[in-house]
Amino acid sequence: MKVLLVDDHAVVRQGYASLLRALLPEVQLREACDGEQALQRVQEEIPNLVIMDIGLPGISGLETTRRLRQRLPQLRILFFSMHDELPLVRQALDAGAIGYLTKNSSPEILVEAVKRTAAGHAYIEQPLATQLACNPASSDGLDPRLRELTQREFEIFVMLARGLPPRQIAEKLCISAKTLSNYQTLVKNKLQISSQAELVYLAIDSGVVRVGLESA
């Protein structure tokens, strides 16, 4: 089984890579630190499964997934993220992922998810699957205005709502401060808001962020 693990935190990525190699000796595992490298790795050799983080520098995990699925519609992608908000889970599934798992999961759950998704079966962590079943998309509370955002705009909206400083957001996404400023203006115009407070209230009301949630 060929697996590509995509995560920008080297220590975290290498730790999970070691774990997977120990628990799944049959896995041939490659690593990528960002979306660009993931696209290159897949072009070099198509894996059975891509394990994808959301918060990647430059091209986000969501956008990387969308591009990979456009090139290879049958490619299987499992999101492995610290975030468990339903709107983000739905964004990942809409982008083309076959599964979603949080980093709070046990090693046994990770192994099960990898095996099932690599075999072509959908896998969503049980608590998230239950929440999704109890909160169908038609009543998930997501403000209709948020559905008009592109994946990159939605990602920036989430980071702004979590209180990340603009400089940190620009560095994380590998874009200039001016480009980020243009995105901020575009997002606020689409959402019909004019202040950071309105943006945060909208994110909380829609369940995109939780009060007190750490950013990463």
In single-letter form, the type of residue at position 101 comes to L
In single-letter form, the type of residue at position 181 comes to S
Where do the domains of the chain lie, and which CATH numbers do they carry?
Answer: 2-134 (3.40.50.2300), 144-205 (1.10.10.10)
Residues contacting 140, CB < 8 A, separation 6+: 86, 87, 90, 207
Q: Is the pTM of this model over 0.85?
A: no
Tens digit of each residue's pLDDT (9 = 90 or more) over 176-196: 999 999 999 999 999 999 998
Rg (alpha carbons) of the chain, rounded to whole number? 17
Tens digit of each residue's pLDDT (9 = 90 or more) over 53-84: 998 888 889 989 999 999 999 999 999 998 88
